[in-house]
């Protein structure tokens, strides 16, 4: 390992955030052009006024700043404590892949029977990263 592998899942997650921002802008533009909402409705960012087509993207985007915050912090801590070995990098990739899948389901079918297990798997991977960090700190 070169020592920077833990950062690639972080970069991949940032790309997901950029994709969701682009999708949100595109969906909102389509809704405005179709006359389903006025551009001024987005000024205050109230969910009550937002059509479902863009609201699900907005909610998915908001999800990328909740649990993933702990992911990014953990990755940085793993790196700075030199605990970023193969198992932690694998767990980081599992977390990011589940975030992509979760976001895809969220902005398409929004089917909870798919979304919930994807979230749970990512959650478990992230908990595993923090457990590994704790073990590393305790015994090194």
Interval 1-11: pLDDT, tens? 668 999 999 99
Range with the poorest average pLDDT among 53-57, 104-108, 125-129? 53-57
Average pLDDT (98-107) is 98
Q: Model confidence over 58-89: pLDDT tens digits?
A: 999 999 999 999 999 999 999 999 999 999 99
Enumerate residues 6+ apart whose C-beta is below 8 A from 79.
Answer: 6, 7
Asked if 13 contacts 70 with a C-beta cutoff of 8 angstroms, the reply is no
In this prediction the pTM is 0.94
Asked if 94 contacts 121 with a C-beta cutoff of 8 angstroms, the reply is yes
For the chain, the average pLDDT equals 94
Set out the domains of the chain in order of their start, with CATH numbers. Answer: 6-34+51-139 (1.20.120)
- Helix or strand holding residue 89 (H, E): helix 86-107
Q: Is the per-residue pLDDT at 43 higher than 90? A: no
Residue 47 confidence class, pLDDT cut points 50, 70, 90: low
Residue 133 confidence class, pLDDT cut points 50, 70, 90: very high
């Amino acid at each position: 390992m070169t020592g920077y592998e833990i950062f690639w899942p972080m970069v991949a997650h940032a790309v997901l955030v950029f994709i969701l921002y682009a999708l949100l802008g595109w969906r909102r533009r389509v809704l405005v052009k179709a006359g389903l909402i006025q551009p001024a409705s987005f000024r205050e960012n109230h969910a009550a006024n937002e059509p479902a087509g863009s609201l699900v993207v907005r909610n998915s985007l908001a999800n990328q700043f909740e649990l993933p915050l702990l992911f990014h912090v953990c990755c940085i801590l793993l790196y700075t404590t030199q605990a970023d070995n193969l198992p932690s990098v694998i767990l980081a990739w599992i977390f990011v892949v589940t975030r992509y899948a979760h976001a895809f389901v969220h902005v398409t079918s929004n089917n909870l029977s798919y979304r919930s297990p994807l979230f749970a798997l990512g959650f478990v991977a992230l908990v595993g990263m923090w457990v590994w960090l704790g073990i590393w700190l305790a015994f090194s």
